[in-house]
Amino acid sequence: MLAKASEVGKAEAILLGPAPEDAVQTLAKHGASKIYLAADAIYRDYLTLPAAETVAGLLQKYHPAVMLFASSYTGRDIVANLCARLDCGAITDVGDFELKDGSVEATIPALGASYQNTSTLVHQGTKLLVVRPKSFEPKVNEQPLAVEEIPAASDEGLRKVHMKERVVVKREGPQLEGAKIVVSGGRGLKGEEQFGMLKDLADALGGAVGASRAAVDAGWVPYAMQIGQTGKTVKPDVYFAIGISGAVQHLSGMKTAKYIISINKDAEAPIFQYSDFGIVGDLFKVVPQLIEELKKRKDA
Amino acid sequence: MTIEIDSNTKRMARKGVPHELDPAAASAVEEGLRLTEKHGGTVTLVTMGISEITIGIRNALAMGAASAVHILDEAVAGSDTLATAKILAAAIKKQEFDLVICATESSDSYSGIVPGQIAYFLGVPPMTFAKEISVDGNKITIKRQSESGYDVVESTLPALVACSSGINEPRYPQLKGIMAAKKKEIKVYTAADLGLSPDQVGEKGAREKVLTIGRPPKRQSGKAISDEGEGGKQIADFLAEIKVI
């Protein structure tokens, strides 16, 4: 984002909450001509409200043309609060943007960038854009280190959403990124245990196991396995969508696979429209048969 | 579900299209029902739209919601996230509530920022991306999805929770519920009833303007065949054909 911001204008960054010591250097190295810093723990311990308060204050003081936010959970929360507070709009899921005479034109890629929509914001003042991950290549663009310490938010009323504990869920198995074969399961898997079957299939093909958001949200598999708009984007040679209906958000993370093979009991599932090969049937019968068949052919 | 986009207005065609219960919203209703079954209270559905075919509202009432509030008004067509949040918040303010539960985002036009905006307008803490909700007295705790796992986040009621899709498996309405739903009250409001002026809602109130809408390229016809007992073998054949095995 700093690379893109430096391209269209002068880039500045805001750093809130405790951060590693070299964080400001990293920002300056990538193009931040100024860094507003408040290292207070309030930003770590209380979600959304303190950060939105501080960012809103900076926006009203400096009136930047555009403010970019990462499309993370925290980024989206802060933007939501800012829109309501400042009575302005925001464009989410932005892949690229241009500034034209003070107005902004944002490109929103859809379905794995196979087509795109464009949007603009028609209100006065700073335009808020929520940028999807990996949209811009980072560039080294060393700036002299200029840090301005700003007062931290301290109002008691901002300490409402208390972050009590961060739980890191470890992932197992081969890396999804770069896998030639990805075997993904969705809601149709019906539970955590059944993912073992997908693991067997992935192992037989030397691939990795992924999942749709429904399976992740249900708690069957960790977030690190999620493929789609709010998860990972994969480009394998073969993508298996098993028990996945094919919501747009999921498609955007796997649409560019060379071949898509799907198994779903619902013949109307949208995933079939994007599949090179689809089986309408019971995945609990089809998958074991496929594993068995792969073993047989390997031994033959 | 097929979505038609009107090339003139660049909006989804919603008029006359049945206003169904979005799967993500069904999960939010389910979560509300589970909480009220445990702690008492009732679930009120709040929704907006321009379609009078309100199968979705009936569905949620049949699941067990006690009543519904429907903002039914041509004027809300073309609302962006902010206008949507203003309208919904104004309708929610007319109710007494301990907890507002929403889906994180709808399945047809997702942004994920409406719940946070509603929370701001209501002046309640935003508890977002929840994959689990528990309430104890006036304390509410959620497991909030994070990039590396989840966070345990706590606040006090009244609050707003936006749940992740798949937080639960929504119940199917039973016959008894479907019958009972017919007698349940649906309050209908216009934006003006809620004290919102025409320039705050709909296309006029929208801060975001869609410039162009792309069209997905057609992929070669997806081939789907019914499993006649040989599905697994057929996939293996296909893998051999594309030289993966």
Three-class SS state of A198: helix
pLDDT category of residue A109 using cuts at 50, 70 and 90: confident
Q: Where in chain A is the domain with CATH 3.40.50.620?
A: 2-158
Share of chain A above pLDDT 90, in %: 71
Rounded Cα–Cα distance for residues A276 and B228 (Å): 19
Architecture field, domain B23-205: 3-Layer(aba) Sandwich (3.40)
Under 8 Å between Cβ of A65 and A99: yes
The predicted model gives A205-234 an average pLDDT of 90
pTM here is 0.77
Q: Where in chain A is the domain with CATH 3.40.50.1220?
A: 181-299
A278/B223 touch (CB, cutoff 8 Å), yes or no: yes
Give the model confidence (pLDDT) of B206-226 as tens digits. Answer: 888 888 877 655 555 466 889
Pick among 3.40.640.10, 3.40.50.620, 3.40.30.10, 2.40.50.140: CATH of A2-158: 3.40.50.620
How high is the pLDDT of residue B61?
A: 96
A163/B151 touch (CB, cutoff 8 Å), yes or no: yes
Please indicate whether residue A257 or residue A82 has the higher confidence score (pLDDT).
Answer: A82
Tokens of residue A95, six digits: 């892949």
Selecting from B119, B149, B220 the residue whose C-beta is nearest the C-beta of A222 gives B149
SS (H, E, C) A50-83: HHHHHHHHHHHHHCCCEEEEECCHHHHHHHHHHH
**Chain B residues touching A277 at Cβ < 8 A:** 223, 234-235, 238
Length of chain B measured in residues: 245
Under 8 Å between Cβ of B29 and B60: yes
DSSP bridge pairs for B102: B162
**Chain A residues touching B82 at Cβ < 8 A:** 83-84, 87-89
Instruction: Tell me phi and psi for residue A244, to 5 degrees.
Output: -120, 125
Please indicate whether residue A276 or residue B119 has the higher confidence score (pLDDT).
Answer: B119
**For the domain bounded by A181-299, which CATH number is listed?**
3.40.50.1220
The predicted model gives A161-180 an average pLDDT of 81
Q: What is the ipTM of this complex?
A: 0.83
Rounded Cα–Cα distance for residues A38 and A17 (Å): 6
The predicted model gives B2-12 an average pLDDT of 62
Rounded Cα–Cα distance for residues B168 and A39 (Å): 38
**Residue B109: count of CB within 10 angstroms of its CB:** 14
Three-class SS state of A43: helix
Give the model confidence (pLDDT) of A31-72 as tens digits. Answer: 999 999 999 999 999 999 999 999 999 999 999 999 999 988
The predicted model gives B156-178 an average pLDDT of 90
B82/A88 touch (CB, cutoff 8 Å), yes or no: yes
pLDDT category of residue B109 using cuts at 50, 70 and 90: low
Strands (E), chain A: 12-16, 34-38, 66-70, 90-94, 96-100, 103-110, 115-121, 127-131, 147-149, 162-168, 181-185, 208-211, 238-242, 259-264, 277-280
Give yes or no for residue B115 having a pLDDT over 50: yes
How high is the pLDDT of residue A112?
A: 47
Rounded Cα–Cα distance for residues B129 and B125 (Å): 13
